[in-house]
């Protein structure tokens, strides 16, 4: 019920977490009918699923070019994005991979 209310109030992440937890509990308890009720609610949320530690396709492209030694400006020009977008992607990449520098990033790729 909580997941449904959160979904209806446009709180996607908490709704997804509540519904996934509910579905896991229902599956564990052997309650397939209740589990089946949670699945359509999850499908209605839409958007991307949480990929907290996985790089997106764009982040992989940015990371690859940076690991090859390209500057942020060169990456931006190659991928048709602004330098600010490259910076934002690098911050997320560093956080997700647990690195602090371009050289550490190059070692991971």
pLDDT at res. 48: 60
Show pLDDT as tens, one digit a residue, over the chain (109 residues). 677 777 778 888 888 888 888 888 888 888 888 888 877 887 788 666 556 678 888 999 999 999 999 999 999 999 999 999 999 999 999 999 999 999 999 998 8
- Euclidean distance between CA atoms 86 and 66, whole angstroms: 10
Alpha-carbon dihedral angle through residues 21, 22, 24, 26, given to the nearest 10 degrees: 160
Do the Cβ atoms of 63 and 109 come closer than 8 Å?
yes
- Euclidean distance between CA atoms 65 and 53, whole angstroms: 20
Q: Which domain holds residue 83?
A: 57-108
Q: Residue 94: inside a domain, yes or no?
A: yes
Q: CA angle, corner 61, sides to 58 and 64, nearest 5?
A: 145
pLDDT at res. 39: 77
Instruction: Tell me, yes or no, whether 11 and 35 share the same domain.
Output: yes
pLDDT at res. 88: 94
* CATH number, residue 89: 1.10.10.10
Instruction: Tell me, yes or no, whether 61 and 41 share the same domain.
Output: no
**Interior/surface letters 75-103, b for 16+ CB within 10 angstroms, e for the rest:** bbeeeebeeebbeebbebbbebbebeebe
pLDDT at res. 98: 92
Q: Residue 50: inside a domain, yes or no?
A: no
């Amino acid at each position: 019920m909580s997941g449904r209310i959160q979904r209806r109030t446009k709180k996607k992440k908490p709704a997804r977490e509540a519904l996934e937890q509910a579905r896991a509990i229902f599956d564990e308890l052997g309650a397939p009918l209740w589990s089946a009720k949670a699945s359509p609610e999850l499908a209605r949320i839409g958007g991307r699923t949480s990929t907290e530690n996985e790089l997106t396709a764009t982040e992989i492209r940015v990371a690859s070019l940076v690991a090859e030694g390209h500057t942020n400006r060169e990456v931006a020009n190659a991928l048709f994005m602004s330098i600010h977008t490259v910076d934002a992607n690098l911050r997320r990449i560093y956080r997700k991979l647990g690195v602090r520098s371009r050289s550490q990033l190059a070692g991971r790729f």
